[in-house]
Amino acid sequence: MDAPALRRADWEPQPTDRASAPTRPERAAEQLAALAAAVDPGDRLGTKEELRARCGVSVGTFNEALRLVQARGVVSVRPGPGGGLFASRQSPMVRLGNSVLALDDDAASVADAVRLRDALDPLLVEDALRHASASDVAAMRTELERMKATTADRDGTAFVRANWALHARIAEVSPNVILRSVYTSLLDIIESHVLSVQPDEAHPLPEYIRSRYELHAALVDAIADRDHRRALELIHEHNTTMDGSATRDEATTEELPR
């Protein structure tokens, strides 16, 4: 009835070639997640042994699956009589994280990320105006210096990277953890997709760099002076004058299949 699976043929009855071959622990984890999703949070799903048998995997494999769903906050485990696996309500923050994790990397274009980032910039500036300390402003000025240093060598890529570093530093000031986290990750996404900055006939590189630099310098000044109106005006200009169009995308061509 419950003969052990000693040979591989006994426990690999699905040679159905699926994409990227989900491993057995992953499949078991999905089963568990489905089980947990089918009941109310807090409900008992059964003992490890029962569920392991239902998933049809060995102890070790089941433990791996368990670890995965636990990390996702889908189930919790309790010892003792009446113990076992329980569906647990996963916090919305975990859902956010997982929904982002589930995102297909290439499905999300850089342009999408840039658009989001631009929408968040004013919030960051607002927070900077309200919360930037003297040392924060000093750090921003340091980043500005770095930007200025790159203006000399006409290296558009170095310039935008320095620019992003400044933005990241500004973001650090915000007390809003969600905003900070999302924003810096967006910068990260954007940065990882950009290979080089290409000049544009309408905006020759040196001129573009100079104007961007001055805009950011003025922005930091406005933050230092707590000049709300000027700062918001500048960030609006920042996001309406072209910026993203001067960058070139890399990742849409998925080379390097390894």
Partner DNA sequence: TCCCCCAATCCATCATGGTGAATTGCAGGA
Partner DNA sequence: TCCTGCAATTCACCATGATGGATTGGGGGA
Residues in touch with its own copies (CB under 8 A): 25, 59-60, 63-64, 67-68, 71, 91-105, 107-108, 112-113, 115-116, 119-120, 122-123, 176-179, 181-182, 184-186, 188-189, 191-192
Q: Work out what residue 177 binds among its own copies, DNA, none; the CB cut-off runs from 5 to 8 Å by kind.
A: its own copies
Q: Work out what residue 9 binds among DNA, its own copies, none; the CB cut-off runs from 5 to 8 Å by kind.
A: DNA
Least distance CB 23 / DNA (angstroms) = 3
- And the tokens for 93? 């923050």
- Intra-chain end-to-end CA distance of the chain, in Å: 45
Q: Work out what residue 24 binds among DNA, its own copies, none; the CB cut-off runs from 5 to 8 Å by kind.
A: DNA
Please choose, from the candidates 172, 167, 211, the residue with its C-alpha nearest in 3D space to the C-alpha of residue 187.
167
Least distance CB 137 / its own copies (angstroms) = 22
The sign of the CA dihedral 190, 195, 196, 198 is negative
Least distance CB 20 / DNA (angstroms) = 11
Rounded CA gap, 11 and 7, in Å?
A: 7
Name which of 148 and 248 has its Cβ closer to its own copies.
248
Rounded CA gap, 137 and 186, in Å?
A: 23
Name which of 8 and 229 has its Cβ closer to DNA.
8
Exposed (0-12), middle (13-18) or buried (19+): which is 92, by Cβ within 10 Å?
exposed
Rounded CA gap, 8 and 5, in Å?
A: 7
Rounded CA gap, 87 and 46, in Å?
A: 10
Q: Work out what residue 107 binds among its own copies, DNA, none; the CB cut-off runs from 5 to 8 Å by kind.
A: its own copies
Q: Work out what residue 47 binds among DNA, its own copies, none; the CB cut-off runs from 5 to 8 Å by kind.
A: DNA
In this structure, the strands spanning 247-249 and 194-197 are: antiparallel
What are the strands, taking DSSP E only, across the chain? 44-46, 75-78, 84-87, 194-197, 247-249
Residue carrying structure tokens 């426990």: 11
Q: Work out what residue 43 binds among DNA, its own copies, none; the CB cut-off runs from 5 to 8 Å by kind.
A: none
Least distance CB 196 / its own copies (angstroms) = 18
Name which of 62 and 208 has its Cβ closer to DNA.
62
Backbone angles phi and psi of 248, in degrees to 5: -115, 135
Name which of 78 and 89 has its Cβ closer to DNA.
78
Q: What residues line the site for DNA (CB under 7 A)?
A: 4-9, 11-12, 23-25, 47-49, 56-64, 66, 77-85
